Amino acid sequence: MNFTAEDVSFSKVTVAFFTVASILISIRIFMKSKQPRPPGPWSLPIVGNLLQLGEYPYISFERMRKKYGDVFQIKLGMVPVVVVNGLDAVKQVLLRDGESFAARPDMHTFSFFADGESLSFSVKYGESWKLQKQIASKALRSLTKSEATSSTCSCLLEEHVCAEALELVKTFVELSKQAGSFDPAASTTCAIANVVCALCFNKRYDHDDEEFQGMLKVNDDFIKASGVFNPADFIPSLRYLPLPAAKAAREFYRKFNNFVAKRVEDHYTTYDKNHLRDITDALISVSNEKREDGKAAALSQQKIIVTVNDIFGAGFATLSVCLQWIFLYLISNPEIQTKIQEEIDAKIGERPSRFKDRKVLHYTEAFLHEIFRHASFLPFTIPHCTTKDATLNGYHIPTKTCIFVNMYQVNHDEA
Ligand code: HEM
């Protein structure tokens, strides 16, 4: 049988096309509605499951996981939250299908940071955010390759870490002479702040420097403020009330931003593209490269301030808490302390240790990994949010769903 052009008229083709398209769309909608939503406990109106979480939500989540499986849904206040446990599901969210889960939820607290333009907390997922992240990663990588000024160190980062570690040991020796015991928290925080200041601004401070102490106080206020639960994150109508948690976080961000902005402005005036001193210079450099490329938009000075802010905050708070956990484990496990000392004595001896020594310090390295696992001092990642409809462990997760990744559970999984 032969068809002519007249037989297949334009209107027939259009009708056929729309019929097939609507069948396909209907099948898709049907399949999605067939896909179950994650199971979870019953929740109360307004507060949801908030009252069931207790002081340690990751422990409560473990109880729920035993009942509902690795992926379950709760309501925090009025916000549905999917809690993800189990290595396989976590890998799917953070790696295999990372793009579908890459956004941040619209939480009230996040909006205080850089008017929502922050790298770590921005709800504005899209091309501009991806570029900011790409530039920040490139700047961090380029810094790890920056040459040290002394020949005994392999890179600038190692030089800063070694210099500050030496100072910290001297401080501990002095403090041990004065009293039978001492609290290492303040000097540890100072040491970490100095490493991060050196990385971000190529500047080391004396521990009693007024400006430096002011910045440490701001960080201390931040740790206190971030420990204050902001109910407006989960009950949106409370956003309009002057809650103490909101005031503290805003105040912290304003002071911290001023500290960083001043240093970034100084860097712009002294910047030399042939001599990159730190992360701020590296960010300016990578951003300028993009501008010269003409292929992608560069970061504005304001965006560079925000990005340094994020890197500074993320590096400082995590590392100072981490080091304090290390001391705690060493103090409460003297036999482990002895083994580490014996390994260092045998493999390194009297000379100062360097990054490359990690390859031969097997026991020490294993101890550090075990601290991360056992302490899990950051039990969750920063909350994530879906960028589009996704499927996880066979469950349908609609776009813009808030996701909590339970790292504590993965680190303590008995399976
Ligand atoms: C003990 C050390 C550290 C721990 C345990 C740690 C842990 C984390 C975690 C759990 C996240 C959230 C990831 C997510 O939401 O998917 C994060 C994000 C981040 N960290 Fe770290 N971190 C550490 C050190 C550092 C350091 C030293 C820096 C920089 C110098 C840094 C920079 C960042 C940045 C920029 C982000 C945001 C990334 C993004 O939103 O895509 N962190 N970190």
Q: Which of 23, 16, 79, 117 is nearest to 404 (CA)?
A: 79
DSSP 3-state of 84: strand
Ligand 1 center–CA 322 separation, angstroms: 12
Q: Residue 11: pLDDT above 90?
A: no
Q: Which atom of ligand 1 is nearest to the CA of 94?
A: 16
Domain assignment present for residue 106? The answer is: no
For residues 134-145, give the mean pLDDT.
82
Q: What is the CATH number of the domain that holds 260?
A: 1.10.630.10
Residue 259, in any domain of the structure: yes
The answer to the question of residue 141 being in a domain is: yes
Task: Please name which of 309, 112, 318, 116 lies closest in space to residue 215, comparing C-alpha atoms.
Answer: 309
Q: Which domain holds residue 301?
A: 116-232+240-332
- Ligand 1 pocket: which of 120, 144, 156, 311 to mutate (most atoms <8 Å of CB)? 120
- What is the spatial distance between Cα 405 and Cα 82, in angstroms, rounded to a whole number? 9
- How many domains is the chain partitioned into structurally? 1
Residue 394: inside a domain: no
Q: What residue owns the CA closest to ligand 1's atom 37?
A: 120
Mean local confidence (pLDDT), 304-321: 86
Residue 55 located in a structural domain: no
Q: Is the pLDDT of residue 225 over 70?
A: no
Q: What is the pLDDT of residues 162-205, one digit of tens each?
A: 999 999 999 999 999 887 788 888 889 889 989 988 889 888 88
pTM here is 0.85
Q: What is the pLDDT of residue 297?
A: 61
Residue of 124, 133, 382 with the most ligand 1 atoms within 8 Å of its CB, for mutation: 382
Note the pLDDT tens digit of each residue in 17-38. 666 666 666 666 555 556 799 9
Q: Residue with the nearest Cα to atom 43 of ligand 1?
A: 314
Residue 369 lies in a domain: no
| Residue nearest to ligand 1 atom 27, measured at CA | 315
Q: What percentage of the chain reaches a pLDDT higher than 70? A: 85
Pocket of ligand 1 (CB under 6 A): 119-120, 133, 310-311, 314-315, 318-319, 322, 378, 381-382
Q: For the residues 84-107, what does the mean pLDDT come to?
A: 96
User: With 70 as the cut, is the pLDDT of residue 158 above it?
Assistant: yes
CA 384 to ligand 1: nearest atom: 15
Q: Please check whether residue 57 lies inside any domain of the structure.
A: no
Distance 314 CA to ligand 1 centre (A): 6
Residue 94 lies in a domain: no
Contact between 363 and 343 (Cβ < 8 Å): yes
User: φ, ψ for residue 219 (rounded to 5)?
Assistant: -65, -40
Task: Average the pLDDT over 113-122 and give the result.
Answer: 78
Q: Is the pLDDT of residue 3 over 50?
A: no
> How many whole angstroms separate alpha carbon 52 and alpha carbon 262?
44
